[in-house]
């Protein structure tokens, strides 16, 4: 009788502690960074080497349809991948591989699909032995269920969809645990205490930013209100929620955060409870931070720390800067136990040193469900990756320079041929965001008379912050745009703020319509 009682009590205790549906009770690590920050640079590299070898040989090659074929077609033995430098044996993966136009189901080739036969063939003896023992003690059903938890897709996000067609990317329960971990690492990095409140204003959508924030707060045990952004609750609704919740931290996309703070400023609200603003999903300029800071100060929120995050669908995670004085960008604090970043020359594909400028190439070390290896992000970083203690927070991890521009956007829109010239539209954004008098702007590229054979026209729609002399302002603007892009706009149209908000779809779209290409294709 006694052993039975002990067993029952033990089970009850575990159940009581963990709650139903979560039998694996573990004490959460108080410091989610511990696994990285306790290692030296050399130890980090050793960890990455061994994880890479394991990941390629135990998960990717055996279970990924795409990579199995890729390695076989190129006669590459996965056993030869033993360290980071061996990665260059493998061809790159690009977005085009994920979204083949002729095959909408292509993304499934990137999902790990284990079966009994492949497990027997590829898994090391010790892991097979463990499975056999589990099967004997707890039954085949238990083994099937635990493999299901590790591999079966249960969640999905898409790319934001400014470029190409959206790419579906799946997560298993195992991946959700990793999403929880990166989320709690970020909450820890932001130095958010358990008695603080956060407001998640990212648009509610199957996009990484919203869910990374949602899961991160949940895992860290911090109160979070996820409003879903302007499209779900309206700006009036978001402001009401903000004033009632009084969060110390808000997270969202730069354009909407800016819009919401301006909305609060116009209504003379007291935002003195705000301490930190975390921006995601878009590049911000120093000019943007300064303008936002001025509006916040006007609302009584002085010295608010404004900083950014970086992430993309295929990584199933995001990385963040730590808050630094004077809104300096501290660099994205990476998770070298979970991924490898290479830096390459975007033209030649040649691998460069870690601290060089170049295109970022991502390889997962610990993903299940959808997996990419040597994925070309199309993002160009200036300043590469640095190591050693962070000068702002002291954490020892790899840090990725914050100066990243999305080359991927440029492939079909930003790098556009206007008036016969190849123009990087990111430069327009940089110029316009950094002019203190500019509140909102939009660029329209169109054909003269809407005739597909006629010449291109570039129109700038402009909402200034205050009364300005339109003529002198237009001349200054033309000069600045000419200097940065060698292209002068045909026309600068001044429009009132409410009309501009509609033009940009600030309150109705997940991503604002900053640059419109209205040329008939």
- Binding region for Zn ion (CB under 5 A): 322, 330, 390, 392-393
The DSSP annotation for 108-159 comes to: GGGB----HHHHHHHS-HHHHHHHHHHHHHH-HHHHHHHHHHHHS--EEE--
| HEC secondary structure over 272-295 | CCCCEEEECCCCCCHHHHHHHHHH
> Residue 302 carries which DSSP code?
-
> Residue 29 carries which DSSP code?
P
Please state the closest distance from residue 397 (CB atom) to Zn ion, in A: 8
Please state the closest distance from residue 455 (CB atom) to Zn ion, in A: 50
Structural contact between residues 223 and 481, judged by C-beta atoms closer than 8 angstroms: no
Between residues 355 and 412, which has the closer beta carbon with respect to Zn ion? 355
Between residues 32 and 229, which has the closer beta carbon with respect to Zn ion? 32
Spatial separation of the C-alpha atoms in residues 86 and 398, rounded to whole Å: 20
Please state the closest distance from residue 332 (CB atom) to Zn ion, in A: 10
Please state the closest distance from residue 86 (CB atom) to Zn ion, in A: 31
Spatial separation of the C-alpha atoms in residues 21 and 142, rounded to whole Å: 14
The helix/strand/coil state of 45 is helix
Between residues 316 and 333, which has the closer beta carbon with respect to Zn ion? 333
Burial class (CB in 10 A: 0-12, 13-18, 19+), 451: exposed
How many residues in total does the chain contain? Answer: 521
Sign of the Cα torsion 35, 340, 151, 183 reads positive
Please state the closest distance from residue 396 (CB atom) to Zn ion, in A: 10
| Run of H or E residues at 497 | helix 497-504
Between residues 81 and 390, which has the closer beta carbon with respect to Zn ion? 390
The torsion angles phi and psi of 389, rounded to 5 degrees, stand at -65, 140
Between residues 320 and 435, which has the closer beta carbon with respect to Zn ion? 320
Please state the closest distance from residue 189 (CB atom) to Zn ion, in A: 7
The DSSP annotation for 319-376 comes to: EEPPP-GGG----EE--TTTEEEEEE-TTT--EE-TTS-EEEEEEESS--SB--SSEE
Between residues 187 and 322, which has the closer beta carbon with respect to Zn ion? 322
Between residues 390 and 429, which has the closer beta carbon with respect to Zn ion? 390
**How many other C-beta atoms lie within 10 A of the C-beta of residue 139?**
11
Between residues 31 and 508, which has the closer beta carbon with respect to Zn ion? 31
Between residues 315 and 400, which has the closer beta carbon with respect to Zn ion? 400
Between residues 390 and 477, which has the closer beta carbon with respect to Zn ion? 390
Please state the closest distance from residue 198 (CB atom) to Zn ion, in A: 19
Please state the closest distance from residue 131 (CB atom) to Zn ion, in A: 41
Closest to 501 measured CA to CA, from 436, 439, 438: 439
Structural contact between residues 380 and 405, judged by C-beta atoms closer than 8 angstroms: yes
Between residues 321 and 456, which has the closer beta carbon with respect to Zn ion? 321
Structural contact between residues 520 and 448, judged by C-beta atoms closer than 8 angstroms: no
Please state the closest distance from residue 402 (CB atom) to Zn ion, in A: 11
Spatial separation of the C-alpha atoms in residues 57 and 53, rounded to whole Å: 6
Spatial separation of the C-alpha atoms in residues 106 and 64, rounded to whole Å: 12
Which ranges constitute the DSSP H helices of 152-306? Answer: 173-189, 208-220, 230-245, 254-266, 286-298
- Which residue bears the tokens 């991927």? 408
- Between CA 482 and CA 490, with CA 488 as vertex, the angle to 5 degrees is 165
Please state the closest distance from residue 322 (CB atom) to Zn ion, in A: 3
Please state the closest distance from residue 400 (CB atom) to Zn ion, in A: 12
Please state the closest distance from residue 317 (CB atom) to Zn ion, in A: 17
Closest to 271 measured CA to CA, from 289, 306, 293, 297: 297
Between residues 310 and 392, which has the closer beta carbon with respect to Zn ion? 392
């Amino acid at each position: 009788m006694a052993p039975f009682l002990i067993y029952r009590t033990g089970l009850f205790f575990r159940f009581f502690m963990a709650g139903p549906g979560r039998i694996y009770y573990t004490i959460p690590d108080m410091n989610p960074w511990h696994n990285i920050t306790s290692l030296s640079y050399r130890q980090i590299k050793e960890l990455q080497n061994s994880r890479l070898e394991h990941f390629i040989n135990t998960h990717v090659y055996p279970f990924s349809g795409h990579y199995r074929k890729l390695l076989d077609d190129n006669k590459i033995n996965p056993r030869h991948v033993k360290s980071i430098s061996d990665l260059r044996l493998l061809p790159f993966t690009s977005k085009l591989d994920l979204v083949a136009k002729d095959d909408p189901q292509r993304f499934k080739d990137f999902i790990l699909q284990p079966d009994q036969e492949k497990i027997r063939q590829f898994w090391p003896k010790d892991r097979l032995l463990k499975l056999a023992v589990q099967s004997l003690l707890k039954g085949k059903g238990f083994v099937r269920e635990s493999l299901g938890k590790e591999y079966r897709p249960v969640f999905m996000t898409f790319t934001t969809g400014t470029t190409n067609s959206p790419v579906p990317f799946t997560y298993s329960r195992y991946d959700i645990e990793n999403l929880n971990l990166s989320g709690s690492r970020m909450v820890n990095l932001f130095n958010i205490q358990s008695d603080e409140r956060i407001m998640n204003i990212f648009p509610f959508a199957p996009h990484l930013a919203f869910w990374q924030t949602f899961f991160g707060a949940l895992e860290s045990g911090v109160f979070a209100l996820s409003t879903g952004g302007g499209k779900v609750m309206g700006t009036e609704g978001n402001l009401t929620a903000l004033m009632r919740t009084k969060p110390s931290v808000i997270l969202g996309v730069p354009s909407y955060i800016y819009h919401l703070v301006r909305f609060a400023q116009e209504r003379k609200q007291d935002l003195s409870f705000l301490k930190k603003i975390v921006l995601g999903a878009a590049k911000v300029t120093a000019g943007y931070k300064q303008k936002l800071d001025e509006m916040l100060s006007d609302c009584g929120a002085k010295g608010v720390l404004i900083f950014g995050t970086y992430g993309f669908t295929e990584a199933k995670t995001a990385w963040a800067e730590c808050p630094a004085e004077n809104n300096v960008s501290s660099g994205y604090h990476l998770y070298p136990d979970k991924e490898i970043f290479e830096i390459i020359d975007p033209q030649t594909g040649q691998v460069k040193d870690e601290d060089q400028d170049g295109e970022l190439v991502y390889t997962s070390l610990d993903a299940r469900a959808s997996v990419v290896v040597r994925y070309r992000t199309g993002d160009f970083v200036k300043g590469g990756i640095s190591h050693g203690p962070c000068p702002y927070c002291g954490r020892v991890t790899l840090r990725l320079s914050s100066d990243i521009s999305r080359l991927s956007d440029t492939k079909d829109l930003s790098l556009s041929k206007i008036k016969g010239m190849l123009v990087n539209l990111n430069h327009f954004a940089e110029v316009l965001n950094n002019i203190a008098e500019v509140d909102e702007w939009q660029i329209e590229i169109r054909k003269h008379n809407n005739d597909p054979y006629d010449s291109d026209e570039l129109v700038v729609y402009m909402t200034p912050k205050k009364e300005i002399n339109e003529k002198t302002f237009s001349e200054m603007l033309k000069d600045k745009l000419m200097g940065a892009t060698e292209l002068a706009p045909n026309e600068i149209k001044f429009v009132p703020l409410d009309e501009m908000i509609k033009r940009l779809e600030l309150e109705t779209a997940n991503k604002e319509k900053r640059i419109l290409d209205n040329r008939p294709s």
